[in-house]
Structure 1
C-alpha cells in the first residue's frame, strides 16, 4: 500500500502537468475537405493544416486539431467548446459568434465541374445554371454570390450531400449534371477516382472567395487572433506559405506541381 501511494504521489505531478498542457493547447476544429484539411491515422493533414500548424509553431502555442462534420464544428465554436475553426467563409450570421482573422488563410476558387459529355450552356452567370442539377455540400457557405443565388431560387435543382467526395461520385456516375466545388478540392477527388479526364472545369470560374481561421467569441481570443495575423503575414511575405503548398503537392504528384494538372485539364478540354 505504501508503495502504491508513493507511486501515486510520484505520478500526480506528471499527470497534472500533462493535464495542464492539454488544457492550454488551442483547440481548433475543421472538416474533411481534401486537399486542404482531412483526418489521418495520426490526427490531421492537408495544405491548410500544415500552414496552421507551422503558424502556431511560430507562435509557440500548443495546438490540437479535430476533423469533424462541418455542422458540429460550427456548433462547437458557437458555444465555446472549441477555440477556433477553419477554413470558414465570412458570413453575416457567423460574425455574431466568430472573431475572424484579418489575413486570408486560403483563397478558394469556386468552379463548376461537369462531365465532358454533358451539354450545359454555362455562360458565366449562375442564372444559366437554373435548369441544371447541381451537387452541393450540406451546411456549407459557398460565398456571397452562390449563397444569394440559392436563397433567391436562381439555382433551383440542388442535390445536397454531407461531404464533397459523395458529390464527385454522383457526378461521375451521372446522378447530377454538375457540381460547384473548390478547384483544388475537385482535382484532388477526381484524381483519386480516376475521373479527371472525364470531367471539365467550366469557365469562367464562379468566384474566388477568401476563407479564414476564425475564433469563438465565447473564448475571447482576439489577442491570439491578432498575433496569428502577424505570423501569417510574415509567412506569406517570406515565401514560407507558398513553399508549404508546393511541398504538399510535390509529395503527392511525384514531384509534379498541381498547376501542371490544372493546365493539362484545360488543354484536354480544348481537344
Structure 2
C-alpha cells in the first residue's frame, strides 16, 4: 500500500471510530439511569411543569430521549457514585411535603430559603452558608407585563401597581420577595394558568422563573406577543438538589458525595458538551 493509501485508510479509520463513539454517546443519552446491583437508591422528585432546558414535558411522564440538563447531570452523578436513581414528577408543593416527610430523598430545583431548612437539607460551606459551588444551576425570576402597562421596576422599587395584584406560582420563593416589596400577591398553580390571567387583566403583572415563562410564551407566540419582560431580574438564585433530613441522617457521607459529584459533573467537559447540545436543539 502506498503512503497515500495508508494515510487515507488511517483517516477513514479515525472518522469511523469517532462516529462509533458519538453513536455510543447518543445511545447513552437516550437511556434511563444505569442500575447497580446491591447499591443504594436515591429517590428524587421534580416538577410536573416543564423548565427547559433543565427538564422537559408536562405531567408525570419522563422522556429519556431528551429529559433535560438536570436529569442528564444527575444520571452522571449516579454513574460516578454507582448509585441507583429513581425519579418521580409531582406538583411542587407536594414535592416539598414529600421531602419533609421522607417519602422522597431529594427534590430539585430548590432555591434557598431559611424556613425551608425545616423541610430539607442543602449543601453547606464550612461556615454554614448555602454552598453555591454545589448548586445544580442558577436561574432568574422575571416580571412579565401586558402591553401598555404602567408597572415599573428598577431593581429596588415596584411602581404603578395601584393596589392591583401580581401573580406568582404557589410555593415559589418569589412570593415572599414580592410581599416584602409591598405587592399584593395572587398565587396560582402553573404558568399556563397564570399567564391567561395577565392577558385578561386580572393581574397587573406576573412574576415567574424565566425558563418556565419562556416555555409558555413559545408555546403560543401569537397569543402572548403583547407580553413583555421587565429588566433587571427580580432575583437570580442558586438552585439545589434538596435532600430530606431522613436521608442525610441515614447516610451523611453519601449525601455529601452526591452534592460534591453535582459540582464535579457540572464543571466537566462532558457536561459542557451536553449543555451545548441542548442549547442548539440537538
TM-score tier, shorter chain, comes to 0.7 to 0.9
More helix by share: 1
Bigger Cα displacement from structure 2, 201-210 vs 26-35: 26-35
Structure 1 equivalent of residue 213 of structure 2: 186
Which residue of structure 2 lines up, in the alignment, with residue 216 of structure 1? 244
Structure 1 residues 237, 24: CA separation in 2 closer, same or farther (over 3 Å shift)? closer
Count of residues in correspondence between the two structures: 228
Pairing 1:6-21 to 2, within 5 Å after superposition: none
Give me the whole-angstrom Cα distance separating, in 2, the residues matched to 1:22 and 1:180: 45
Offset at residue 233 of structure 1 (A): 2.2
Residue 176 of structure 2 aligns with which residue?
Answer: 147
Distance apart, 1:223 and its partner CA: 1.8
Aligned mates of 1:149, 1:172 — CA distance in 2: 20
TM-score, length of structure 1 as denominator length: 0.73
- Distance in 2, matches of 1:22 and 1:163, equals 39
Q: Give the deviation of 1:235 after TM superposition.
A: 2.1
CA distance in 1, matches of 2:218, 2:38: 37
Alpha carbons of structure 1 residues 24 and 234: separation in structure 2 relative to 1, 3 Å: closer
1:234 aligns with 2:264: yes
Unaligned runs of at least 5 residues, structure 1: 1-19, 256-271
User: Partner of 2:112: helix, strand, or coil?
Assistant: coil
Q: CA RMSD in A?
A: 2.7
- In structure 2, relative to structure 1, the CA distance for the partners of 1:43 and 1:62 (3 Å cut) is farther
CA distance in 2, matches of 1:57, 1:79: 27
User: Is 1:114 aligned to residue 114 of structure 2?
Assistant: no
Deviations 1:203-249 (A, max 9, x none): 11111111100111112243222212322222232243443333224
Whole-angstrom CA distance in 2 between matches of 1:121 and 1:97 = 35
Tell me if structure 1 keeps the 8 A contact 2:105–2:243. yes
Residues 152 and 159, structure 2, Cα contact 8 Å, conserved in 1: yes
Distance in 2, matches of 1:242 and 1:77, equals: 30
Deviation at 1:196, TM superposition (A): 5.4
For structure 2, the residue ranges without an aligned partner over 5 or more in a row are 1-35, 124-130
